[in-house]
Structure 1
């Protein structure tokens, strides 16, 4: 049986109308950046296809409950994968467990967001390297007892987030955002975690009542490059305010759950992003469009 895609059939599928056409358009918008990443990193199509098969398998298993080891036929019907392929994939060893959060980045976030560690002007305080709170040592021990404060300090310095003064007594933060430029492993880790959760939230909203996860966006066009620089500064300020308000509140909730003996089996990710690009065509003499909300 010939399973290759014929150009005419492919064109017909991609030109579908109605909800199916909208689904195709949404998938193209999502898959193109992924394809760019794969091409840029030298990942061939065959390996990307293998990952897509595993994703379809997992989605099929979820749709039929648990691992669904006896549901080969149902998974095959739901995904379009052959029964033989489903069986082969189900027999694969389980993958590696997801990586744990970095204690260094958690310490960095705590330092930025804890009101007790900020100056009257609202900037992060320089901290004594050792001693009682407030100090770098006490902050590090509040984050984890599994990693020595010295090791966490060395990691923050390696990442360009902090530095130790010449006397070796005081630690200073160098930045107020963490974008690990030049560290491909961490950047890919952030991409998978942040975009994966954002996409999961959007899909869950589409497949349910649209209210399960908070997910909204603001869209505007006809801006100049100079205006975008001002917007970037505004967004950075708003993110810092949000971080300062949320981290202590969430930390308190975690402690209250622990004290009350509640099952602590839920996770949370809150994000904010901006994306800028050239408009697809000249705007001509049309008046500027006001910003508009977009949501699922």
Structure 2
């Protein structure tokens, strides 16, 4: 029996799932599970369904949005109500579950539990008691292991300590994640534009690939590509600065130009 996709929709889903392997790696590493992520996706699917109906000039009825997005009619109603009230769709009254570890930390801070306490102790406040106030189903040891992995708590023998510094965002690492997100957005936007709107002007979206290479060859190509990019980006940046100076103050100066490059040794 053939393993080829039955239709274009199924093929597209297979390709997106390949990308999701990397995004899911990022989510899991950050402590975000399937339940929280799928809930957070609801307004995204809602908005994109509305955008598609607008593109094809169809009315954005609850049924039409539900058909395109796969969302429950109740959620769609909530999003529509939020929009009609002038709110962001992310402010809609749609239940979004929080992970047990996140709720444990939230309760720990909100109710001012001791910053340090034993994992388990019948005679005094303990981490086990805290977890059981949130959930009787999740094992406290599993919750502790997850919080330790995320760097939110520290365990020293039988003592569990809340790491207050973990609540202070690291600006440098946040900036790196923002840059990655912006670069991925620009890249996928260019590629999707070329696929979905072939009748329009295409964006530059190409790559150079070479297979069956030794580690030494990959290292040599990496060094050479960095040298080329440093030279090319410097020249392009000079022109971009000149264009920015010429366009400054113009009423139609509302466009953004982005050219990126990446290197990988998959």
TM-score > 0.5, shorter chain as reference: yes
Q: Where does residue 254 of structure 1 map in the other structure?
A: 244
- Secondary structure of the structure 2 residue equivalent to 1:240: helix
Q: Aligned ranges for residues 237-276 of structure 1 at < 5 Å?
A: 237-258=227-248, 261-276=250-265
TM-score (norm. length: structure 2) = 0.59
Deviation readout 1:33-76 (Å, 9 max, x if unpaired): 0111111111111121123222211211222339x996433322
More helix by share: 2
Q: How many Å apart are 1:206 and its aligned residue?
A: 1.0
SS of residue paired to 2:207: strand
Which residue of structure 1 lines up, in the alignment, with residue 65 of structure 2? 75
Name the CA distance, whole Å, in 2 between partners of 1:264 and 1:95: 29
Separation in structure 2 between the aligned mates of residue 226 and residue 182 of structure 1, nearest angstrom: 35
Map of 1:36 onto structure 2: 25
1:229 aligns with 2:219: yes
Partner residue of 1:94 out of 71, 88, 93: 88
Mean Cα deviation higher: 84-93 or 46-55: 84-93
Deviation at 1:231, TM superposition (A): 1.0
SS of the aligned residue for 1:217 comes to coil
CA distance in 2, matches of 1:59, 1:202: 17
Q: How far apart are 1:184 and its partner, in Å?
A: 2.6
Name the CA shift for 1:70/1:63 in 2 (closer, same or farther; >3 Å): closer
Let me know the Cα RMSD of the aligned residues: 2.8
- Matches of 1:87 and 1:274, distance apart in 2: 45
Gaps of 5+ in 1: 1-13, 97-180, 278-296
Aligned residue number for residue 36 of structure 2? 47
Q: Is 1:196 equivalent to 2:185 in the alignment? A: yes
Cα deviation, residue 243, structure 1: 1.1
3-state SS of 1:64 partner = helix
Distance across 2 between alignment mates of 1:258 and 1:183: 30
**TM-score normalised to structure 1 length:** 0.54
Deviations 1:147-174 (A, max 9, x none): xxxxxxxxxxxxxxxxxxxxxxxxxxxx
**In structure 1, how many angstroms separate the alpha carbons of the residues matched to 2:245 and 2:188?**
29
User: How many pairs were matched up?
Assistant: 178
Distance 1:41 1:49 in 2: 15
5+ residue gaps, structure 2: 91-169
From 51, 72, 88, the counterpart of 1:62:
51
Partner Cα distance (1:53, 1:24) in 2 = 18
Identify which of structures 1 and 2 has the higher relative contact order when contacts are C-alpha pairs closer than 8 Å and 6+ apart: 1
8 A contact 1:64–1:71 mirrored in 2: no
- Residues 199-221 of structure 1: per-residue CA shift (max 9 Å, x gap): 12111111011743110011111
**C-alpha distance in structure 2 between counterparts of 1:47 and 1:31, whole Å:** 15
